[in-house]
């Protein structure tokens, strides 16, 4: 089993896998509601193909031990996660295509950061840290099989350094 140290979540580092959702200098800023609200516009695109976009809340508990054994992907649409508490979480991803455990990268999302996995990007299920956490999730619902999973052989399991 190999161990990976999570790297900071930045838009540039995460670009091969999707988008970081956060308030940043890169966002289009639009004052609305007579100046009482600032809109950080179109932070990511939601890919749904011939389906529809849905909004859900996922509640996730910290994984113990913190060993990654299963990855999934959604070939028909993107999937966005935005934490509803100011808690960090981990994002484990691998590029689209045939799954390759050697290409897994792990990012540590800070307070105020979310992610949108691009269509077909391999990722681990939610990795809450510290405490049970809620996430606003925007993803696709519709016709077709939109979930592929791969269970890693024990030799490819990944321990996450804390």
Q: What is the pTM of this model?
A: 0.92
Q: Which residues of 78-88 are buried (b: 16+ CB within 10 A; e: fewer)?
A: bbbbbbeeebb
Residue 156 has, within 13 A of its CA and on its CB side, a CA count of 13
Contact 133, 84 (CB under 8 A): yes
Q: How many domains would you assign to the chain?
A: 1
The CATH number for 22's domain is 2.60.120.480
Q: Tens of pLDDT along the chain (162 residues)?
A: 999 999 999 999 999 999 999 998 889 999 999 999 999 999 999 999 999 999 999 999 999 999 999 999 999 999 999 999 999 999 999 999 999 999 999 999 998 999 999 999 999 999 999 999 999 999 999 999 999 999 999 999 999 998
Enclosing domain of residue 126: 2-160
| pLDDT score, position 26 | 86
Distance CA 139, CA 132 (A): 21
Q: Nearest 10 degrees: CA dihedral of 44, 47, 51, 52?
A: 10
Interstrand relation of 133-141 and 79-83 (parallel, antiparallel or unpaired): antiparallel
In sign, the C-alpha dihedral spanning 52, 134, 63, 11 is positive
| pLDDT score, position 67 | 98
| pLDDT score, position 45 | 92
| pLDDT score, position 9 | 98
């Amino acid at each position: 089993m190999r161990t990976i140290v999570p790297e900071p979540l930045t838009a540039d580092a995460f670009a091969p896998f999707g988008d970081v959702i956060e308030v940043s200098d890169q966002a289009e800023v639009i004052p609305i509601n007579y100046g009482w609200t600032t809109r950080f516009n179109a932070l990511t695109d939601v890919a749904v193909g011939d389906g529809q976009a849905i909004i859900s809340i996922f509640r996730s508990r910290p994984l113990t031990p913190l060993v990654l054994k299963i990855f999934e992907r959604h070939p028909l649409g993107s999937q966005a996660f935005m934490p509803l508490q100011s808690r960090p979480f981990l994002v484990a991803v691998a590029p689209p295509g045939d799954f390759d455990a050697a290409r897994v990268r792990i990012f540590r999302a800070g307070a105020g950061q979310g992610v949108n996995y691009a269509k077909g990007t391999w990722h681990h299920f939610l990795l809450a840290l510290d405490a049970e956490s809620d996430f606003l999730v925007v993803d696709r619902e519709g016709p077709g099989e939109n979930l592929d999973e791969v269970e890693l052989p024990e030799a490819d399991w990944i321990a996450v350094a804390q």
